Structure 1
Amino acid sequence: MEYGIETRCCHGVTEIVKEHSFGAVSVPIYQTATFAHRGIGESTGHDYTRVSNPTRDELEQTISSLEGALDTVACATGMAAISLVLELFDTGDHLICSEDLYGGSVRVFSAVGERRGLKFTYVNTADAALVEKNIGPDTKALYIETPSNPTMQITDIRAMKALADKYHLLLIVDNTFLSPYFQRPMELGAHIVLHSGTKFLAGHNDTLAGFVCTATEELKERIRYLYKTVGNCLSPFDSYLTLRGIKTLAVRMERQQENAMQIAEWLKKQDKIKQVYYIGLPDHPGYEVNKSQTDGFGSMISFTTDTEETARRILERVNLIVFAESLGGVESLITYPMLQTHSDVPVEVRERLGITECFLRLSVGIEKAEDLIADLRQALE
């Protein structure tokens, strides 16, 4: 029987539960580094936790089920997941990336990828013609975020898939902002899907995790080999915490989206707020494309204030909303991208994208929307 995504969030791959020791409903935490052999050449199916672990296996199979992936590996962080994918490429290989990209991704591409001889071009991937114009003989992959972090640009995944097929490229999609509950890029042709599992998947601001989902047998084998070789695996306890978070992914995402819509509409009416970036607003330039490839809008909002003073006053005066990095948890967080998440992006690029001293990013949680609005109102006054 094919279960809905809400059921799969709650129960995972349901037949696995029947295999839990003593009928445990929650996944047992196999907090062990190694596993005993029953004899020479015999294995229980697990030999060493760097390679595989029963707790992590269940998490990986759950993510594969949600994303529609052939396989998933769970990494220590989202950055570890991105670094693992970089190992697929060789000196001289070229990747075309969304110009509005998480600052940590830009940092690892520059500090690690370029030092290894990889080449990166950043373009507005919402413009398929511009992407195609930048494809060259050394181009090996398209790397996109949609919605992008933090200006919420939308890329047409189907258009990128068409280009990937035409030029024999890998299509890599960072799906952190919407999670598989709202967006499943593999259904649209992505070869690799990445997540910072720290965010919406785990959902409680209490653990770090990352995921690499693969769509083909060849990619599965390559990633699995690199995974055990590099050793950036997720621990059993963090695997448990992430699985526990995923159980409520559906209800959290729905509530957070509901709150975000109310807050975005309120922000648009404020004199001191000059622009609101939320993909659920019909006037967002990517609204129709996003609707065509997702089941929702998520809960990430960015906005621009009238002055730097207003932006700083909001950050210093919010009480309920927490001034902190990260996103996707049950608690609402507000971030100053130019100093926090995107400080490694060149100034001229940040300013061209609109990530200025007046630009703030809000991750909306599950609190009462009216309370969050009241907190923003008093911070603005």
Structure 2
Amino acid sequence: MAAEIQTPAFTALPPAPRHAITIHIPLWSNLVKFMNKEPELIAQFKSMYPRIIPHKDVKELMGKIIEVAKTEGKACLPFSAPESVTECIKFATSAARLEKALSPDELETRIFDIKGLVRLYVIFFPAQKLPVVWPFWQLAGVGISSRLAEDCVKNIEVLREVRESYPEPKIEESKAQSVLRERIAGLMERAPASPSRKAKVSPGDVYLFQTGMSSIYSVHQYLLSAYNAKSVLFGYAFHSTPHVLDGFGPGFKFLGIGSPEELIELETYLKEEAKAGSKIQAVYTEFPSNPNLSTPDLTQLRKLADRYEFVLIVDDTIGSFCNIDVLGAADIVLTSLTKSFSGYADVMAASAILNPSSSRYSELKALFGKLYNNQFYNGDAEALEKNSRDYMARSAVLNNNALKLVEYLQVLAEDPNSSVKKVYYPTTLPSRSSYEACMRQPTADFTPGYGSLFSFEFDTIETTMAFYDTLNLHKGPHLGAHLTLVLPYVTGLYGKELDKVAQYGLDERQIRVAVGLEETDVLLEEFSRALKAADLLKTKN
């Protein structure tokens, strides 16, 4: 057995660098308090995903700005793009905020420069209204990064307020940004699933963003500016994605299982929209989905996209560049680079890639050329470039660890005496063929796999809790890190709406596992020990 984990509760995974984005939540009771957003618990957090709870450097910068601006009693959110402030104000004053909506006169925008580093567009509002405004930061993901905040605080003595007409500081992109674009473009063309594409992805087709959600939000905003139409989310997706599609623009249709039956439902919906003289602007889908790992049929989605003229957007974060090639179908590929591409859980980033073989390429290229404003901080680019150098080697370990655990759990799921009832992974689900149709070709140095993420389900909530509390591994949100992270995803994110998500196959008895780089035998041993505790409880009951 591995040594007992020494990571203190509510701190980051070791080595816990300054810009860590993880948290260790060791007990089920902690998780329930987190789901209920209990202030006493959250006050104990020493680390957390910085899009959810502001990083300490971001909080310090906010405080410094309020001091310099002499706005006591106010809170503020700093952005590095003026359009983010505009959208934040629109969000905070929207009728969708109901009685909590701010009035326009409660919001003030001021502009600050830190010479040679950044221009900050800052929105001020009454401090007690922060819970109304903060969700924009969480959903859109366009807030400034912790590294940028740290560097701002270091140079706070040169922070000065400026007029909008004052020339903006000229910031050159670091070499790391171009290296990342080249690296990603190369990965998109490495050992393609189908070698017959008309054109190859170039570095100029790769657009970098601050966070995974900022890539989704920004692309959604670009399409709204051109088409202002509804979207579809096909299959389940990360928690914030449907909120972005619902909260910005004219709404969306949610087909949350992504099954062949829902493909028929999607086509029926598209026909009805066409009859009414309208059409959707995009279909978003994850490949595979989070957290139930179902894989959509991209071939059929591509046929519908061609017939009904919508943009097909595929988020390949879970499958990952090295394993899957979705360019045979997607017009745009979105990826959270925060995850396995970075691999060390200390930098946020994302990419949007335009498919040069798409019939919509010229149209989308012009749209991105008009609207894309690179807000990815050079300091983050440098950290990401360094982290991603061993992406392929790490991915081989992640693929293997996940597959071995899945194979072990699948045997248990077929045993009526086991507390394990079902395993969710591309290899165990009916949609396996859809995943394998997009797998890259094996090469001498890499064999594609099925990714680092899986879920599995227990027979009762009691055995689920027993497993979680006994397991001697790190526990919390995030995936693709250097250490394994285990999370009761449904309970943590949907614990107050279990009836609502049950129709999509989500259940509180499910555990999501994002494997890390530990020795496979160590992971199997730790799982075996925790499962014995669950099985013992099952026997007693």
Q: TM-score, normalised by structure 2?
A: 0.57
**2-structure distance, mates of 1:225, 1:341:** 36
**1-structure distance, mates of 2:232, 2:456:** 27
**Counterpart for residue 117 of structure 2:** 33
The letter of the residue matching 2:506 is: I
Q: Is the 8 A contact 1:103 1:343 kept in 2?
A: no
Q: Tell me the CA shift for residue 325 of structure 1.
A: 0.2
The letter of the residue matching 1:246 is: S
1:220 paired to 2:365: yes
**1-structure distance, mates of 2:299, 2:475:** 36
Provide structure 1 residue ranges, at least 5 long, that are not aligned to the other structure: 1-30, 35-46
Q: Is the 8 A contact 1:74 1:210 kept in 2?
A: yes
CA-to-partner distance for each residue in 1:245-287, whole Å, 9 max, x for gaps?
2221211111111111111111123301100011134xx2011
From 271, 281, 290, the counterpart of 2:435: 290
From 445, 465, 480, the counterpart of 1:328: 480
Q: Is the 8 A contact 2:233 2:242 kept in 1?
A: no
Change in Cα spacing, 1:143 to 1:343, as seen in structure 2 (3 Å) is farther
1:201 paired to 2:341: yes
**2-structure distance, mates of 1:155, 1:342:** 23
From 87, 105, 115, the counterpart of 2:241: 105
**Counterpart for residue 242 of structure 1:** 384
Q: Tell me the CA shift for residue 129 of structure 1.
A: 2.2
Matches for 1:318-357 after TM superposition, within 5 Å: 318-319=471-472, 321-342=473-494, 347-357=498-508
Relative contact order, higher structure (CA 8 A, sep 6+): 1
Q: Tell me the CA shift for residue 289 of structure 1.
A: 2.0
Change in Cα spacing, 1:99 to 1:376, as seen in structure 2 (3 Å) is same
1:133 paired to 2:261: no
Matches for 1:79-118 after TM superposition, within 5 Å: 79-90=213-224, 93-110=229-246, 112-113=247-248, 116-118=249-251
Q: Is the 8 A contact 2:298 2:434 kept in 1?
A: no
The letter of the residue matching 1:121 is: F
Q: Is the 8 A contact 1:96 1:134 kept in 2?
A: no
Greater Cα radius of gyration, structure 1 or 2: 2
The letter of the residue matching 1:276 is: V
CA-to-partner distance for each residue in 1:59-83, whole Å, 9 max, x for gaps?
1232223224341111111011111
**Counterpart for residue 273 of structure 1:** 420
Q: Tell me the CA shift for residue 326 of structure 1.
A: 0.7
Q: Tell me the CA shift for residue 323 of structure 1.
A: 0.5
Change in Cα spacing, 1:254 to 1:348, as seen in structure 2 (3 Å) is same
Change in Cα spacing, 1:224 to 1:170, as seen in structure 2 (3 Å) is same
Report runs of 4+ in structure 1 exceeding 4 Å deviation. 341-344
1:364 paired to 2:515: yes
Q: Tell me the CA shift for residue 123 of structure 1.
A: 4.5
The letter of the residue matching 1:361 is: R
Q: Tell me the CA shift for residue 224 of structure 1.
A: 4.0
**Counterpart for residue 251 of structure 1:** 393
**Counterpart for residue 187 of structure 2:** 66
The letter of the residue matching 2:319 is: L
Q: Is the 8 A contact 2:341 2:391 kept in 1?
A: yes
**1-structure distance, mates of 2:334, 2:438:** 17
Q: Is the 8 A contact 2:256 2:504 kept in 1?
A: no
**Counterpart for residue 168 of structure 1:** 309
Which stretch of the first structure deviates more once superposed, 236-245 or 83-92?
83-92
Change in Cα spacing, 1:134 to 1:48, as seen in structure 2 (3 Å) is farther
Q: Tell me the CA shift for residue 53 of structure 1.
A: 4.2
Q: Is the 8 A contact 1:123 1:131 kept in 2?
A: no
Q: Tell me the CA shift for residue 55 of structure 1.
A: 2.4
**1-structure distance, mates of 2:409, 2:116:** 49
Provide the alpha-carbon RMSD of the alignment. Answer: 2.3
The letter of the residue matching 1:99 is: G
**Counterpart for residue 178 of structure 2:** 57
The letter of the residue matching 1:107 is: H
Change in Cα spacing, 1:247 to 1:32, as seen in structure 2 (3 Å) is farther
Change in Cα spacing, 1:234 to 1:92, as seen in structure 2 (3 Å) is closer
Q: Is the 8 A contact 1:152 1:279 kept in 2?
A: yes
From 104, 117, 120, the counterpart of 2:253: 120
CA-to-partner distance for each residue in 1:169-200, whole Å, 9 max, x for gaps?
101000001111111211x1311111111101
Change in Cα spacing, 1:242 to 1:73, as seen in structure 2 (3 Å) is same
Change in Cα spacing, 1:61 to 1:221, as seen in structure 2 (3 Å) is farther
Q: Tell me the CA shift for residue 342 of structure 1.
A: 4.9
Q: Is the 8 A contact 1:92 1:118 kept in 2?
A: no
SS at match of 2:405: helix
The letter of the residue matching 1:257 is: N
SS at match of 1:166: helix
Change in Cα spacing, 1:65 to 1:84, as seen in structure 2 (3 Å) is same
Q: How many residues are paired up?
A: 327
Q: Is the 8 A contact 2:459 2:509 kept in 1?
A: yes
**2-structure distance, mates of 1:223, 1:174:** 18
The letter of the residue matching 1:237 is: G
The letter of the residue matching 2:492 is: Q
* % identical equivalent positions: 24
The letter of the residue matching 1:360 is: I
Change in Cα spacing, 1:278 to 1:377, as seen in structure 2 (3 Å) is same
